[in-house]
Amino acid sequence: MYLLGLAVLLSLLKLAGMGPVGEWPWWPILGVYAAASAWWVWADWSGYTKRKAEEKIELRKKERIQRQKKTMQPGPRRR
């Protein structure tokens, strides 16, 4: 995702002609798009994306269980 953001930023700078990026040829900017595409292909092929999604679900599950345990604990007694 960072590569895609970088590619869009570089494209905007190139189109606006701002800074040194405005002087660059298009191939380095298109190379960043290609790198982002290659990353997504690799992430899907290797299972990285699915593994990260499962880790996020597992973390939410553990946090929910901890919150429920905390609410079930007896608090200070009132007199």
> What is the DSSP track for 1-14?
-HHHHHHHHHHHHH
What are the sequence ranges of the domains in the chain? 2-70
**With the C-alpha atoms ordered 6, 9, 13, 18, is the resulting torsion angle positive or negative?**
negative
| Lowest mean pLDDT, pick from 5-14, 23-32, 64-73 | 64-73
- Per-residue pLDDT of 27-54, as tens digits, reads 999 999 999 999 999 998 999 888 989 9
10 in Cβ contact with 21 (< 8 Å): yes
Please name the amino acid found at residue 1: M
What's the pLDDT score for residue 76?
72
Q: Which amino acid is at 67?
A: R
- State the amino acid at position 30 in one-letter form: L
pLDDT for the residue 49: 84
Residue 78's pLDDT is 63
